[in-house]
Amino acid sequence: MVERHAVAKTTDFEDEGDRVFVEIDELEVAVFRVDGEYHALVNYCPHQGAPLCEGELTGRSTGDDDWNWTYEETERNVRCPWHGWVFDVTTGQSTDSEQYRMPTYEVEIEDETVYVLR
């Protein structure tokens, strides 16, 4: 059964990229504000258990077969503070390997309160 957990106020997110950490049923979750939307992601790197969401938010560099590189400036990728693994906070998908994807949770806003559904 999915439960709705009040975790913050929208005013707790002053700037793009801001995040809050909450514990829901003994699981630490981070809620990010990216592009005016809110996203919840487990705060645990699958590599060695680092506090994933305490890492830096960055854009993303991509290249093609001809070595042409582009940089996506939207800072929606969190870099693990221990070993640099990178995950998209909007999907939980690793940008380094299709093998890894972090659990994400739906977020709702009602009356300026941020809720995580888990």
Specify the pLDDT at position 10. 97
- Which pLDDT belongs to residue 70? 75
DSSP 15: S
* Nearest by Cα to 89 from 24, 44, 46, 31: 31
Model-level pTM?
0.87
Which residues contact residue 23 at a Cβ distance below 8 angstroms, ignoring those fewer than 6 apart? Answer: 29
Place of tokens 């645990």: 44
| pLDDT band of 74, cuts 50, 70, 90 | low
Contacts of 22 (CB under 8 A, 6+ apart): 5, 7, 8, 28, 29, 30, 31, 116
Digit-coded pLDDT (tens) for 9-28: 999 999 989 999 999 999 99
For residue 12, the SS3 value is helix
Q: Are strands 113-117 and 4-9 parallel, antiparallel or unpaired?
A: antiparallel
Q: What is the pLDDT of residues 21-58, one digit of tens each?
A: 999 999 999 999 998 999 999 999 998 989 999 999 98
